[in-house]
Amino acid sequence: MFKKILIANRGEIACRVAATAKRLGVKTVAVYSDADANAKHVAVCDEAVHIGGSAPKDSYLRWERIIEAAKATGAQAIHPGYGFLSENEDFAKACANAGLVFIGPPASAINAMGLKAESKRLMEQAQVPLVPGYHGADQDPALLQREADLIGYPVLIKASAGGGGKGMRAVDKAEDFAAALDSCKREAINSFGDDAVLVEKYVQRPRHIEIQVFGDTYGNCVYLFERDCSVQRRHQKVLEEAPAPGMTPELRARMGEAAVAAARAVNYVGAGTVEFIVEQPGGYDAPEQMKFYFMEMNTRLQVEHPVTEAITGLDLVEWQLRVASGEPLPLQQDDLRITGHAIEARICAENPDNNFLPATGALNVYALPECVTFERANVSDTGVAVRVDSGVRQGDAISPFYDSMVAKLIVHGDTREQALARLDEALAQTHIVGLATNVQFLRRVARTDSFARAQLDTALIPREQAVLFHQEPVGLPLASAAAVAQTLLNERATEGVDPFSRRDGFHTHGVVQRRFEFEFGGEHAKAWLNYERGGSLHLTVGEGEHAVAGPLVFSAKAEGIELQFAGQRTRAAVYAQGEVDHVFTPLGATQITAIDLLAHAGEAAAEGGRLTAPMPGKVVSFAVKAGDKVAKGQPLAVMEAMKMEHTIAAPADGVVQELLYAPGDQVTEGAELLKLVAAEKA
């Protein structure tokens, strides 16, 4: 086993690798960029080397510096994590040339599987079933269009060098092909430096089922069963589980053997994943009719590897380190068993209600559930019921330089139902304040009928959208009651210490009634709190026939406030951020703003007609010019940030007055991109 390794990555995966290394007594070296000088992964490693600027191309992709850092610190091997250099053949070779072990497959296997088109040609020879499509070298747009017409619409254009769900465009009809091809190629050259594409049949309502494989340097190769990653948005995984619901032992063996054949065809060593797209012509309840096709092989550890670890009781990073240091696979195929069911949820800094726009900012509150471990009866080591793999800590900032995943929540149960219940509870205990996250969205996805009944396919999110987006689970009465209770608790805590901090101006026993004003779900609301004789409280929320009134009873507990109001009884954790209270309850989370009328007196009305960058990034293109009339919702500009393109649409009908930037310009968050005069003023 190695004595010291360098981890050429950041975030949760760098921390994850460091944890296993530590357990095995292997010393770790972190590398970091300017933006990550105080990052968690730097803190958890034994040593750390600064390698450059914040942008990945200035740091995490600078492999000469990473290799220098390894040599300077005496590391014997480099773990690349996922993303960044993990599937970079040149990096794997450079490690070998520098006398360092690359903890991953041989460079030749990375190369063979690196480009989707070439890997499909290879798999064709190995007789692994493929999605019908064109994966040739000729990239003439007219030829690609003809091939697409031949395949029949809808088709999917994929960047051959693509990954992470980027560089893909679904095309519904022939007329749209050329524009989609252009946009796909642009994203591909930007993100992957290679604009070659392939065209595939767009499989309807497919499942994504992938097989974890592992090889060693002695010619052994096993499969560690499957993961179902069908729940996706923008072709990116949202929830992943193992085993795949409805999987039959027969299909599992066939897919497992096909995956091992794929790995063997490239002399695979280490951890890899063979991804299949699965057609379900017989619907959800006819697994025996499922047909699987090879999509791609990821020659690295996958984000969702923990669900495989949960059901097998194994540590895949430990296997990677053992295999890379020359040991044989610890187990053979016949030794491997599935225990229970595991689900992973990817926690991302993004706003699901705004087309999953990535969010940046500080994690002012970052409370995740406690990890829960249990002794497993028939597996030698300790099982984990709730596991959190996190790359950040409270107070850390999410910068625009890297992708938006901040943590993963992994649950394990004896059955899928038990795992689902644990996931729901764990997500309810996840309280993040400071920037938008998908936590509540994940909880709703896991609660949909489709997911609960395992009616899985990649269209689950669009199919269930009515219950997934723009939901208000708590409601005004309970949210107001929580905000009022928190205000009173805060006042009790400071009373006598700083009586002038009381906003109502009546901090003596003379108070009979207090008025509160809230903003909730875009609406204004009033509430009155009456101090009854004997010290009890009576709250009225809203006016007229919508008013909800009743006694307000609450007490502070470690997990939050125990609250009773208007026939509802709940637990609520309330975190104040300026005037906004973030309220977390078992029903879900919400925000309510307590308006301080004095503070707002005389404030000017909000300005209209400005279009600002939602995040720092680069202007890719403008779809309009000065003088153009635009309709509400019409795309105006395309920005690139966090490795993805974002379209900025007109908030209202109007006329474009002026473009304030040019394509290629770097802009900061909030920068005004163009001036728009609203229709009624124009």
Least CB distance from residue 102 to ligand ADP, whole Å?
17
* Residues 139 to 158 in contact with ligand ADP, rule: CB under 6 A: 156, 158
Least CB distance from residue 387 to ligand ADP, whole Å?
17
Nearest to 348 by CA among 470, 235, 449, 239: 239
Residue 203 touches ligand ADP, criterion: CB under 6 A = yes
Which one of the spans 295-303, 500-508, 561-569, 622-630 is the region binding ligand ADP (CB under 6 A)? 295-303
| Residue 463 φ then ψ, to 5° | -65, -35
Nearer to ligand ADP, 86 or 486 (CB): 86
- Residue 232 site contact among ligand ADP, Mg ion, none (CB < 5 to 8 Å, cut-off depends on kind): ligand ADP
Residue positions annotated with a catalytic role: 300
Nearest to 381 by CA among 452, 310, 430: 310
Residue 531 touches ligand ADP, criterion: CB under 6 A = no
* Residues 348 to 407 in contact with ligand ADP, rule: CB under 6 A: 403
Number of residues that bind Mg ion (CB under 5 A): 1
Which H or E run includes 278? Answer: strand 270-279
CA distances from 426 to 31, 129, 347, 423, 560 (A): 31, 39, 12, 5, 15
Among 73, 236, 280, 390, binds ligand ADP (CB under 6 A): 236
Residue nearest to Mg ion (CB): 275
Residue 237 touches ligand ADP, criterion: CB under 6 A = yes
CA distances from 466 to 87, 345, 442, 463 (A): 38, 20, 14, 8
Sign of CA dihedral 117, 120, 124, 129: negative
* Residues 560 to 589 in contact with ligand ADP, rule: CB under 6 A: none
* Residues 254 to 283 in contact with Mg ion, rule: CB under 5 A: 275
Ranges assigned E (strand) in 165-220: 168-171, 197-201, 207-215
Strand, helix or coil for residue 421? helix
Nearest to 72 by CA among 61, 81, 64: 64
Which one of the spans 99-107, 161-169, 177-185, 619-627 is the region binding ligand ADP (CB under 6 A)? 161-169
* Residues 421 to 460 in contact with ligand ADP, rule: CB under 6 A: 458
Number of residues that bind ligand ADP (CB under 6 A): 31
Q: Measured between alpha carbons, how far is 198 from 181 in angstroms, rounded to an integer?
A: 10
Among 80, 106, 206, 272, binds ligand ADP (CB under 6 A): 206
- Residue 28 site contact among ligand ADP, Mg ion, none (CB < 5 to 8 Å, cut-off depends on kind): none
Residue 655 touches ligand ADP, criterion: CB under 6 A = no
Residue 302 touches ligand ADP, criterion: CB under 6 A = yes
Q: For the chain, state the CA radius of gyration.
A: 27
* Residues 458 to 517 in contact with ligand ADP, rule: CB under 6 A: 458
Strands ordered across the beta sheet of 207-215 = 291-298, 270-279, 207-215, 221-233, 236-242, 341-348, 405-413, 382-390, 372-375
Contact yes or no for 47/28 (Cβ under 8 A): yes
Residue 117 touches ligand ADP, criterion: CB under 6 A = no
Strand, helix or coil for residue 345? strand
Residue 272 touches ligand ADP, criterion: CB under 6 A = no
Q: Measured between alpha carbons, how far is 326 from 320 in angstroms, rounded to an integer?
A: 10
Least CB distance from residue 302 to Mg ion, whole Å?
9
Residue 130 touches ligand ADP, criterion: CB under 6 A = no
Binding site for Mg ion (CB under 5 A): 275
Binding site for ligand ADP (CB under 6 A): 82-83, 87, 131, 156, 158, 162-165, 192, 200-203, 206, 208, 232, 235-237, 275, 277, 295-296, 298, 302-304, 403, 458
